[in-house]
């Protein structure tokens, strides 16, 4: 069954970046929860060489409608030239968990201005 929620994977090189991205996404209601998993060993191609890095994996629980906003936020707050932002659809999560996730994230970032106040 398809849901409107995603899990986003982002790797970072240090705890400070992990905390900055996690707290920023939570404060902006772009994510309901961010889990930081330390001790990830990544091996990858970079500039025609195989590199190895010890990283922290961020597991970001969010709404699918916020994908672009999350990618922009990560790009702005991440020191890597090409930060990883990979989204997968949440499948098999309980209705209660998805209800909680939805209640703790923005429905959309395209919120219209208040017609009464013009703001």
Q: What is the pLDDT of residue 108?
A: 64
pLDDT along the chain (119 residues), means of 10: 86 98 97 97 96 97 95 96 95 90 80 42
pLDDT in tens, 46-73: 999 999 999 999 999 999 999 999 999 9
5: exposed, middle or buried (C-beta count within 10 Å: 0-12, 13-18, 19+)? Answer: buried
Instruction: Domains for the chain: give ranges and CATH numbers.
Output: 5-103 (3.30.70.120)
Residue with tokens 């409608």: 65
Q: Is the pTM of the predicted complex or chain greater than 0.85?
A: yes
HSE toward the beta carbon, residue 39, CA cutoff 13 A: 1
Q: What is the pLDDT of residue 92?
A: 84
CA distances from 76 to 16, 19, 81, 83 (A): 15, 14, 10, 10
The residue among 16, 94, 18 whose CA lies nearest residue 59 is 18
């Amino acid at each position: 069954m398809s849901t409107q929620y995603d899990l986003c994977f982002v790797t970072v090189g240090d705890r400070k970046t992990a905390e900055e991205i996690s707290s920023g996404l939570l404060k902006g209601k772009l994510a309901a929860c961010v889990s930081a998993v330390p001790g990830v060993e990544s091996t990858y191609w970079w500039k025609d060489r195989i590199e190895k890095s010890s990283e922290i994996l961020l597991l970001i629980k969010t709404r699918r409608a916020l994908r672009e906003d999350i990618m922009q936020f990560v790009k702005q707050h991440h020191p890597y030239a090409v930060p990883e932002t990979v989204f997968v659809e949440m499948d098999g999560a309980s209705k209660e968990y998805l209800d909680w996730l939805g209640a703790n994230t923005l429905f959309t970032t395209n919120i219209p201005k208040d017609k009464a106040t013009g703001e």
